[in-house]
């Protein structure tokens, strides 16, 4: 058994049961080791969850960098809409993102002061990368790039919360309805009567 495997198991437990419901004894049992053996790797549940959160945020920041690098030069509306859809798929298939959002939206009360600044770091990276994207497409929008980035992050929060508190289908419905309104609000392209 190695540290990485323990963290994989622990991440699934935190996602399923939350911080309070996750028991180190159950993680150890699933890992096939004694609970005391976990302490060889982590001194406490807090140390485990903090280390996992740090790694999840680093991985998700790296994903953002790669995503926006590979979409450079594509039409802005395609980049943004595809990002939201990819974000949904990543949430459903990558425990890092699910875990990171869990700790951002529902952190253990005694660790709020740690989790909130670390999640803010993730959002700062996202906003900076978006500013670059919007600057690249500044002729396509009616806002300054920094305002456009902030508006997108705010829009994204409203859509992503559907994944966290509702269902993927709710996410799809909210995105379908609200995307057109959002895009019309920031786009410098003329919308012809009858277009959606």
Give residue-wise pLDDT tens across range 66-111: 999 999 999 999 999 999 999 999 999 999 999 999 999 899 999 9
* E strands, 38-77, in order: none
**Domain spans of the chain, in order of start:** 1-43, 45-186
What pLDDT shows up at residue 192? 44
Average pLDDT rounded to a whole number, residues 101-125: 91
Q: What are phi and psi of 62, to 5 degrees?
A: -65, -40
Q: Which of 164, 156, 88 is nearest to 127 (CA)?
A: 156
- Condensed to tens digits (0 to 9), the pLDDT of residues 158-172 reads 999 999 889 999 999
> Alpha-carbon distance 131 to 118, whole Å?
20
Name the CATH topology of 1-43: Arc Repressor Mutant, subunit A (1.10.10)
pLDDT the model gives residue 2: 86
Long-range contacts of 127-131 (CB under 8 A, 24+ apart): 127/153, 129/64, 129/65, 129/68, 130/68
What's the whole-number average pLDDT of the chain?
Answer: 92
pLDDT above 90 for 8: yes
The angle subtended at Cα 121 by Cα 106 and Cα 23, nearest 5°, is 35
In degrees rounded to 5, what are phi and psi of residue 187? -75, 140
Give the CATH fold of the 45-186 domain: Tetracycline Repressor; domain 2 (1.10.357)
Q: What is the structure's pLDDT at 115?
A: 86
Sign of the C-alpha dihedral computed for residues 93, 99, 100 and 104 taken in this order = positive
Q: Report which of 171, 123, 174 is spatially closest to residue 149, judged by C-alpha positions.
A: 123
State the first-to-last Cα distance of the chain, in angstroms, to the nearest integer.
Answer: 55
Quick check: 186 pLDDT over 50? Answer: yes
């Amino acid at each position: 058994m190695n540290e990485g495997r323990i963290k994989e198991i622990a991440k699934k437990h935190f996602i399923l049961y939350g911080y309070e419901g996750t028991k180190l004894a159950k993680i150890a049992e699933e890992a096939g080791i004694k609970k005391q053996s976990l302490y060889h790797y982590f001194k406490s549940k807090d140390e485990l969850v903090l280390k996992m959160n740090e790694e999840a945020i680093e991985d998700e920041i790296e994903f953002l960098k790669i995503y926006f690098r590979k979409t450079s030069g594509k039409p802005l509306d395609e980049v943004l809409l595809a990002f939201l859809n990819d974000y949904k798929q990543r949430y459903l298939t990558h425990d890092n993102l699910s875990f990171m959002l869990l700790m951002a939206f529902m952190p253990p009360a005694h660790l709020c002061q740690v989790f909130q600044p670390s999640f803010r770091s993730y959002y700062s990276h996202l906003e900076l990368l978006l500013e670059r994207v919007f600057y690249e497409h500044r002729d396509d929008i009616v806002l300054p790039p920094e305002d456009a980035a902030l508006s997108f992050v705010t829009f994204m929060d409203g859509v992503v919360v559907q994944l966290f508190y509702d269902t993927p289908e709710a996410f799809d419905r909210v995105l379908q309805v609200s995307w057109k309104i959002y895009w019309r609000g920031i786009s410098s392209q003329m919308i012809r009567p009858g277009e959606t």
